Amino acid sequence: MKVLTGPAAKFGIGTIGGRLAELPTKIKENFNMLVKGDPEIVVHEIISENSVDKVDPYAIRGSYDEIEEFIIRGTRIVLQHPNYGLNLIAEIETYRGCPRAITGGCSFCIEPLYGLPKFRKQKCIVREIEELYSLGVKFFRLGRQPDIFTYRAEGVGNVEYPKPKPEEIEKLFYGIRNVAPNLKTLHIDNVNPGTVANHPKEAREVAKVIVKYHTPGDVAAFGVESVDPVVVKLNNLKVTMEEALRAVEIINEIGAQRGYNGLPELLPGINLLFGLKGETKETYRINFEFLKRIVERSLMIRRINIRQVMVFPATRMWNIGDRVIKRHKRYFKSFKAKVKKEIEPRLLRKLVPKGTVLKEVFTEKHIGEYTYARQVGSYPLILKIPEKLPLHMFTNFAVVDYEHRSAIAIPYPLNVNKAKRKLLELIPNISHNDVLNILKTRPFKSMSQLSLVIKNKDCIKYLSI
């Protein structure tokens, strides 16, 4: 019996932006059922009935209690993952549904179709992490929920922006650290900037709790989508430009300090979405202005995600489809190019100034003569190292330059007796003469001997013997 679950089964498939298309018949006919509801419930029914005939493919769970046992029993599946024992990160679900369902939610979003949030209990989330940790998983992210700041918040069902309860979030994070004391990554995902802007005091407290228990390099991904007031109104989006800037400021205030792995503790990420109702050429100008103001205020953003809307049936964007996307193709292209040229390089230089040492970076693959490596986390920065290094190792690297959204890095510290000339030349501020002196004199027997041949003493910290 073959059953297809997941987004392709549920919604169909689509291209980068635009309408979703039904699955082609030649894919469909390979399966006995396409699961449109919750896979865990439907699959359980199929196994109990030993047939798909009497099973409703649209069945959904009424509460998390129905599936907590499946979750725990299912944790062992990590042992079959190709990245198990390497850089496998487990995404843990804390809740689904959106508090803004009471106003219909954003025009493009399917989350309100799940209704108001149904939260998982802290003890159940902690139990899942305990189980995964005992199986050897060390990297976790609390994802899936539309806004971790409103986990078990006050006013869900009555107000559009429930008031965060820092004590509920602390109970969750404390519990996780208690059962997984030596975890290597604990990151969050989505945060509604409207929650932060509407409840600055509580949001600061929540951010402090997260910074206390998580691991650095964490990202609060803000689904801003657009700050053009016309688009915000017509699509029932979350924040004005001023509110979004305030939310960015608050997260910076609490999270911008650098953590032990070399990255700031907690930074906002910005998601922008184009192709929405009411969009004009002016929308692109206003959103660029927003990003410019972030940079001019010296605020930090981990990353900007610029997408075109994917239109799902049963959302208010379905009638519009990809009309706006098609009409504004050229504005979208030039907006992306402008952000890449004028905004992202400035953000990246601030995020990881030259010389920043990033710790426990996983070497993932070779392309040409380069090694690509990333820390394990929610939105990790790509490091490009101009040498073929052993793969699947955790190593420290120093940032020496930039390329688009990635940083060029060298191993840290660099073995002065073995390093290739081109890596020595990349050490920040090293002079041509210092490199020549190293090459002429090596092998060095001690750091003091090395110090005699290098004029710029600041470079010595990048080297070892």
Q: How many residues bind ligand SF4 (CB under 6 A)?
A: 11
What track of x and - describes contact with ligand SF4 for positions 210 through 249 (by CB under 6 A)?
Answer: -------------x--------------x-----------
Stretch that binds ligand SF4, among 11-19, 100-108, 149-157, 329-337 (CB under 6 A): 100-108
* CA-based end-to-end distance of the chain: 60
- 98 near ligand SF4, judged by CB under 6 A: yes
Within 326-355, which residues bind ligand SF4 (CB under 6 A)?
A: none
CA 88 to chain centre: 15
Distances (CA, A) of 417 to 338, 421, 435, 465: 43, 10, 12, 6
Least distance between ligand SF4 and beta carbon 149 (Å) = 12
Give the pairing type, strands 18-21 and 13-14: antiparallel
Token code pair at residue 342: 């004028």
- 192 near ligand SF4, judged by CB under 6 A: yes
- 203 near ligand SF4, judged by CB under 6 A: no
User: Nearer to ligand SF4 by C-beta: 271 or 464?
Assistant: 271
Stretch that binds ligand SF4, among 49-57, 99-107, 179-187, 291-299 (CB under 6 A): 99-107
Q: Report the distance separating Cα 129 and Cα 118, nearest Å.
A: 19
Is residue 335 packed enough to be buried (19+ CB in 10 Å), middle (13-18) or exposed (0-12)? buried
Binding ligand SF4 by CB under 6 A: which of 105, 162, 175, 377?
105
Query: What does R_g of the chain's alpha carbons equal in angstroms?
Result: 25
Token code pair at residue 193: 């900037």
Q: Report the distance separating Cα 74 and Cα 90, nearest Å.
A: 12
Is residue 31 packed enough to be buried (19+ CB in 10 Å), middle (13-18) or exposed (0-12)? middle
Stretch that binds ligand SF4, among 109-117, 312-320, 383-391, 443-451 (CB under 6 A): 109-117
- 117 near ligand SF4, judged by CB under 6 A: no
Identify the bridge partners of residue 159 per DSSP, sorted by sequence position: 156
- 111 near ligand SF4, judged by CB under 6 A: yes
Within 252-291, which residues bind ligand SF4 (CB under 6 A)?
A: none
**C-beta of residue 384 within 8 angstroms of C-beta of residue 408:** yes
Least distance between ligand SF4 and beta carbon 186 (Å) = 23
The DSSP-derived string for 48-87 is HHTSSTT--TT---SSGGGTHHHHHHHGGGGGGSTTTTTT
User: Nearer to ligand SF4 by C-beta: 307 or 340?
Assistant: 307
User: Nearer to ligand SF4 by C-beta: 105 or 386?
Assistant: 105
Which residues, 6 or more positions from 82, have their beta carbon under 8 angstroms from its beta carbon? Answer: none
User: Nearer to ligand SF4 by C-beta: 312 or 412?
Assistant: 312
Binding ligand SF4 by CB under 6 A: which of 106, 153, 263, 291?
106
User: Nearer to ligand SF4 by C-beta: 238 or 302?
Assistant: 238
What track of x and - describes contact with ligand SF4 for positions 134 through 173 (by CB under 6 A)?
Answer: ------------x---------------------------
Q: Which residue is nearest to ligand SF4 (CB)?
A: 105
Q: Report the distance separating Cα 239 and Cα 223, nearest Å.
A: 10
Binding site for ligand SF4 (CB under 6 A): 98, 100, 105-106, 109, 111-112, 146, 192, 223, 238
